[in-house]
Amino acid sequence: MKKCKATLRRPAGGMSLIELMVAMALGILVAIGIVNIFTTTSSSSLVQAQLARLQEGGRFAITALTNDLRMANAQYCSNMGGASAALSNGALTLDRYLRAPKVILSGATLQSAMKDVTTSWGATSGTNTYPAAPTAPFILPSWYGMRGYDCTATACTPVDPKGPSTSTGVIPAQGTATGNRVLGSDILTIRYLNGTRGWTLDGTGSKMTTASQVVTSISLSPKTGEPPVGDIKSGDLMMLADCNASQVFSAKVSGTTVTADSNYTTLSQPTGVSPRLFDFNRDYQTVTYYLQVVDDNNGNKTGALMRRLNGVSSEVVRGVERLDFLYGVMDATGNTSFRSAADIDSATSCASSSPGTLGTDPGCLWRSVQSIEVHLLMDGQKPLYALNSGDMQYQYYGDTAITGLSSPDDSKRVVKPSQQGFDNHMLRREFTTLVSVRNYNP
């Protein structure tokens, strides 16, 4: 018989319970490390995204404001009104007086055609009482060219700039709800003439008919790029301007012929060069800047810089929480001081619209503003709850009682984000610029 060989058995393979537990522990540690790296990277990415959004939004807001503010009070090709006068040395100078249009219609008619006018004829504003509505020709008042408002979390000075409650499309009231004006944000309204529009009265196309230095009619024949005559309707306000002065009148339109309303027939023949006719209702721009509460539809609120042009508001950029303006005027020593809107509005003694006299026009210092200092507080728009207390600290010009960086809820802040309805957990940064006003009256 053959003997069978014994088969050798291999020991059973596998891991012991201790080895398995060690491997699991090591795997968990690696996973935790990966999650931590991902979380840190993600948080850093969100911070960088907010910083980029802050930088881009702040620059865009400053650019938009600068483009408009430097045009405040601009008139067609004339920096100073008045007729030329000869000096003893033979040179010519301008009889320097207020560079503003002469209005040859009633004050009530003018105001009904303007946008964002919060100072009515005869109203009391701050410490001033404004004049009653003129019924005879008058010079466009200073507060039409520029008017600012300082606002805290509770009130605005010298007046609240929101329109009457019965109006539509007015500047909204302050509040924390979406659509309200942001608490503690200043407002500024400026006006200027869009000199690129209108009809050139050169006599070869559009021309004037005059008699005894009075314009009896204007015949329009638009050139390429000029508005169609059909844009004008009887009752529209028109501006006849040259490089000396300008006049605003109510128009009567018959075909392509424009005449002054029969109630106001003192439309003087222009004495300067390059006469031009403008549609005052369309070409005289009213621009108001303010902040409005907006929502990203996820419950996150922030402020948006709003630009209101001729009564129609549009959003410029989001992420603006605070907006402040200071107004630079020259004092008797030649130095420029920066003042609040209430300070500017309280002035009464300024150069008059009549040469060589001193006026007592309420708010007359608005036309002498040489520069405007703008301060914006931007936020990242979306809360970042991973931010620590140090990351959320910031400084802002308006919080004058605070030195250096401070928390959003610092008791010394004039306006806190929580009061405005905004989350504290956002990055914040201040932007500022100084805008020179090209067309101020000394």
pLDDT for 354 beyond 50: no
Q: How confident is the model at residue 94 (pLDDT cuts 50, 70, 90)?
A: very low
Average pLDDT score, the chain = 82
Percent of the chain clearing pLDDT 90 (strictly above): 35
Q: Which residue has the higher pLDDT, 298 or 394?
A: 394
Range 154-173 average pLDDT: 72
Encode pLDDT of 38-54 as tens digits: 565 555 666 777 778 88
Predicted TM-score (pTM) of this structure: 0.83
Encode pLDDT of 267-291 as tens digits: 888 887 889 999 998 899 999 999 9
- pLDDT at position 384: 86
Phi–psi pair at 200, nearest 5 degrees: -75, 125
- pLDDT at position 161: 82
Range 211-222 average pLDDT: 89
Q: How confident is the model at residue 114 (pLDDT cuts 50, 70, 90)?
A: confident
- pLDDT at position 327: 95
Q: How crowded is residue 88: how many other Cβ atoms within 10 Å of its Cβ?
A: 5
Range 8-34 average pLDDT: 72
Q: Which residue has the higher pLDDT, 92 or 312?
A: 312
Encode pLDDT of 26-41 as tens digits: 778 877 767 666 565 5
